[in-house]
């Protein structure tokens, strides 16, 4: 199997993510930002992980106030270069907006000086993002592969 045939299996998921693109669709369920091999997830003041209550969010270039939460990308097994396969999903979360809200002092530090690692792959963010990914796959009619938290 080639990369294109494996990627075609996920085409309905990508199409569903494109239809629910937060940049163009004001529907409350539109929380996705399409990538070539996956999608980003954004939360809103009405739909967010635990502990995000009251966090200021802004629309910017999107259709509604939101904040970045997660990235979900295909996990490839490329052991056999002639037969690469999507064997799962990699999920990583980064609660940048929550971190900045809870640590406003970081704005007075030079970039990289104040490291606050506790805002990456927080269990409540991972749970929320996993549920949103599961829902997207259901809407697309594609069985969701195993999802794993990706640690950099």
Tokens 């993510």, residue? Answer: 17
d(CA 144, CA 96) in angstroms, rounded, equals 27
Least confident interval from 16-30, 33-47, 84-98, 129-143: 84-98
Structure confidence at residue 152 (pLDDT): 55
Total domains in the chain come to 1
Between 61 and 103, whose confidence is greater?
61
| First-to-final CA distance of the chain | 29
d(CA 27, CA 100) in angstroms, rounded, equals 27
Q: What are the tens digits of pLDDT across the range 27-39?
A: 999 999 999 999 9
Q: Residue 93: give the domain boundaries.
A: 3-149
- 151 three-class SS: coil
């Amino acid at each position: 199997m080639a990369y294109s045939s494996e990627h075609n299996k996920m085409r309905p998921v990508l199409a569903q993510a494109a239809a629910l693109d937060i940049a163009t669709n004001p529907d409350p369920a539109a929380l996705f930002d399409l990538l070539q091999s996956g999608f980003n997830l954004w939360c809103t003041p009405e739909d967010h992980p635990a502990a995000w209550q009251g966090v200021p969010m802004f629309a910017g270039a999107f259709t509604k106030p939101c904040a970045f939460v997660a990235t979900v990308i295909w996990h490839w097994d490329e052991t056999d270069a002639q037969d690469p396969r999507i064997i799962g999903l990699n999920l990583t979360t980064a609660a940048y907006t929550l971190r900045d809200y809870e640590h406003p002092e970081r704005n007075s530090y030079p970039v990289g000086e104040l490291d606050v690692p506790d805002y990456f792959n927080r269990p409540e963010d991972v749970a929320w993002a996993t549920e949103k990914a599961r829902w997207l796959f259901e809407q697309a009619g594609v069985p969701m592969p195993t999802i794993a938290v990706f640690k950099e």
